[in-house]
Amino acid sequence: MTPSLILVLAIGVLFATGVYLLLERSLTRVLIGFILIGNGANLMFLVAGGRAGGAPLIGTTPTDQMSDPLVQAMVLTAIVITLGLTAFVLAMAYRSWQLHGHDEVQDDLEDRRVARHAARNAPAFEDSDTEESGATLDDEAAEVYDETDGDGDGETDVRDGSRAEKDAPPSGRRGAGGGEGR
């Protein structure tokens, strides 16, 4: 089966025009771009599905003359997705019109600030972790921070029931129980 050249050109024009409109700042144009791409996708599914055939019901049409039901299901799904996306963009355009009096998408000032900051600190982004040091990630993590060494002397502190002398509470008492020191 060879598709019609006119249908293939129509698919190309719908996709190209839709992508061009998606790149605009006006939400109305973005909305029209979504709709054109959705229609282009539907047409592409229909062309890819092959020639028209009989109803895909066993017993009513010979199997070699049946149409492909998967294409029909995918077109219905694409219609629903396009409708939902259209409703969302339409709501955004309406809200933008209410707030600002236009539907133009503004530049994000925070994105500009982050891009300028990244450009200034470009040398700070060099990746020194790619060099092989021979140490495992666990060894490197232990060098950076050892959460079992509370006092920073390089030795693991005892935490189970029996506390070391250096880990005694600041009041000088060894235990919290008993009657000592009251």
pLDDT tens track for 71-91: 888 999 999 999 999 999 999
Maximum mean pLDDT: which of 15-29, 107-121, 151-165? 15-29
> Which long-range contacts (C-beta less than 8 Å, at least 24 apart) are formed by 27-30?
27/89, 27/92, 27/93, 27/96, 27/103, 27/104, 27/105, 28/93, 28/103, 30/89, 30/105
Q: Would the pTM count as exceeding 0.75?
A: no
Query: Over the chain, what is the mean pLDDT?
Result: 77
- State residue 145's pLDDT score: 53
Do the Cβ atoms of 44 and 12 come closer than 8 Å? no
**Banded model confidence at residue 182, pLDDT cuts 50, 70, 90:** very low
Please report the sign of the dihedral spanned by the C-alpha atoms of residue 79, residue 80, residue 83, residue 89: negative
Maximum mean pLDDT: which of 59-68, 96-105, 124-133, 161-170? 96-105
Mean pLDDT along residues 137-151: 61
- State residue 86's pLDDT score: 94
- State residue 163's pLDDT score: 47
